[in-house]
């Protein structure tokens, strides 16, 4: 049975380290992906709740010094309307298999809907579970070899001016993508949905069906340092 874990943290880096330690401890090996060239990883299902200082760390785009992906600003740019305009002019060879921002605003602008829905929650004083967006396109993704990893985003209003954010993932690279995923998505939501409504994020619940570390990254994952009083030891 796949190992299942729940983490509640106020430190962004400590949450990443705890999630890694859980995977490394349980050693649940899987092979997945292309039948001809399967990927091997140690897998888990994890729910990670972030609050307080962790939200500020994410919004300041702080990454752990041992996190392998350093081009976080570039990734944040991919989740903007400006990037999408330029992206559409690229050749098919230059494009990704999918682009999250494109999935979220075309053919229906789900982010605009979320902004309006959050505004209605605030004005009515009634919380709604309908403020969400999905990336899945059944006609494409059911037969695709590379469907989107991110599946759903939800924003819930909390009095007086706060918002709780939920992310649901089909599959996720814990070592190489977890921190940059959250930083870029939070930046996008703050720009498109939350700050236009005068709100700020109170908490994030990040759920991954498959939160894994690739076999090739295990040694580097073992060497990730614990954050201790603002230092890494």
What's the DSSP call for residue 12? H
The domain spanning residue 211 has which CATH number? 3.30.572.10
Looking at the domain assignment, is residue 132 inside a domain?
A: yes
Closest CA to 148 of 104, 206, 90: 104
Looking at the domain assignment, is residue 136 inside a domain?
A: yes
Predicted local confidence at residue 39, as pLDDT: 92
Looking at the domain assignment, is residue 231 inside a domain?
A: no
Q: What is the pTM of this model?
A: 0.96
Q: How far apart are alpha carbons 208 and 88 in whole angstroms?
A: 30
Range of the domain at 92: 4-224
Looking at the domain assignment, is residue 229 inside a domain?
A: no
Looking at the domain assignment, is residue 17 inside a domain?
A: yes
Q: How far apart are alpha carbons 223 and 68 in whole angstroms?
A: 12
Looking at the domain assignment, is residue 230 inside a domain?
A: no
Number of domains into which the chain is organized:
1
Predicted local confidence at residue 231, as pLDDT: 66
Give, for 119, the enclosing helix (H) or strand (E): helix 110-124
The token pair that represents 15 in the structure block: 């949450």
Predicted local confidence at residue 230, as pLDDT: 63
Q: Mean pLDDT for each consecutive 10-residue tract of the chain (233 residues)?
A: 98 98 98 88 98 98 96 97 94 90 97 98 96 96 93 96 98 98 98 98 98 98 87 69
The token pair that represents 91 in the structure block: 């050749």
Looking at the domain assignment, is residue 60 inside a domain?
A: yes
Looking at the domain assignment, is residue 232 inside a domain?
A: no
């Amino acid at each position: 049975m796949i190992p299942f874990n729940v983490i509640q943290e106020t430190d962004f880096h400590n949450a990443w380290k705890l999630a890694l330690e859980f995977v490394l401890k349980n050693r649940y090996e899987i092979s997945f992906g292309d039948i001809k060239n399967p990927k091997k990883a140690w897998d888990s299902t994890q729910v990670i709740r972030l609050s307080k200082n962790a939200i500020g760390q994410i919004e300041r785009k702080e990454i752990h010094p041992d996190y392998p992906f350093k081009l976080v600003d570039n990734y944040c740019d991919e989740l903007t309307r400006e990037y999408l305009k330029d992206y559409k002019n690229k050749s098919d060879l230059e494009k990704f298999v999918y682009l999250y921002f494109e999935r979220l605003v075309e053919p229906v602008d789900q982010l605009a809907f979320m902004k309006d829905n959050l505004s209605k929650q605030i004005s009515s004083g009634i919380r709604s579970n309908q403020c969400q967006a999905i990336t899945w396109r059944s006609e494409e993704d059911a037969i695709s070899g590379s469907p989107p990893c991110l599946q759903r985003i939800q924003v819930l209003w909390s009095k007086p001016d706060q918002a709780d954010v939920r992310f649901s993932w089909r599959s996720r690279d814990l070592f190489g993508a977890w921190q940059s995923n959250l930083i870029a998505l939070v930046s996008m939501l703050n720009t498109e949905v939350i700050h236009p409504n005068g709100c700020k994020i109170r908490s994030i619940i990040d759920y991954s069906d498959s939160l894994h570390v690739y076999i090739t990254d295990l040694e580097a994952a073992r060497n990730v340092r614990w954050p201790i009083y603002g230092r890494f030891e």
